[in-house]
Chain A
Amino acid sequence: MRPPHYPEFLTGEVPVDFVEVISENFMVAGGRPLRTLDTVRSHYPVALHGVSMSIGSADGLRDDYLTQLKGLADRIDPLWVSDHLCWTGNAHFNSHDLLPLPYTSEALDVVCANIAHAQDVLGRALLIENPSSYLTFSDSEMTEWEFIAAMTARTGCFLLLDINNIYVSAQNHGFDALAYLDGVPVDRVRQIHLAGHTQGDHLLIDTHDQPVPDPVWALYDIACARFGPVATMIERDDNIPALTELLDELAVARQHAHTRDRVAA
Chain B
Amino acid sequence: MTTFSISGKGKKQHTFDAIVIGSGITGGLAARELTQGGLKVLLLERGPMVEHIKDYKYEHTDPWRLPHRNMVPQAELADYEIQKNLYLFAQDSKDFFVKDSEHLYIQEKPFHWFRGYQLGGRSLLWAKHCYRFNEQDFEANQKEGIGIDWPVRYADIAPWYDYVEKYIGVSGNRDGLPQIPDGSFLKPFDMNIMDKHLRKRIKERFPERDLVIGRVAILTENHNGRQHCRARNLCHRGCVFGAPYTSNGVAIPDAARTGNLTIRPFSIVESLLYDSKKRKVAGVSVIDAETKETTEYFSRVIFLNASTLASTQILLQSKNRDFPTGLANSSGVLGHYLMDHHGSMGAMGGYSGYKNSYYHGERPASVYIPRFVNLQKQEKDYLRGFAFENYTSRSDWTRGFHERGTGADWKDNLTKPGDWFVYFEGYGEMLPYFDNHVSLDEHQKDQWGLPLLRISMSYKENEYKMRKDMQKTAIEMLEASGMDWITPFDHNAPPGSVIHEMGTARMGNDPRTSVLNKWNQAHDISNLFVTDGAFMTSSACQNPGLTYMAFTARACDYAIKAMKKGAI
A binds B: no
Query: B-contacting residues of A (Cβ < 8 Å)?
Result: none
Query: A-contacting residues of B (Cβ < 8 Å)?
Result: none
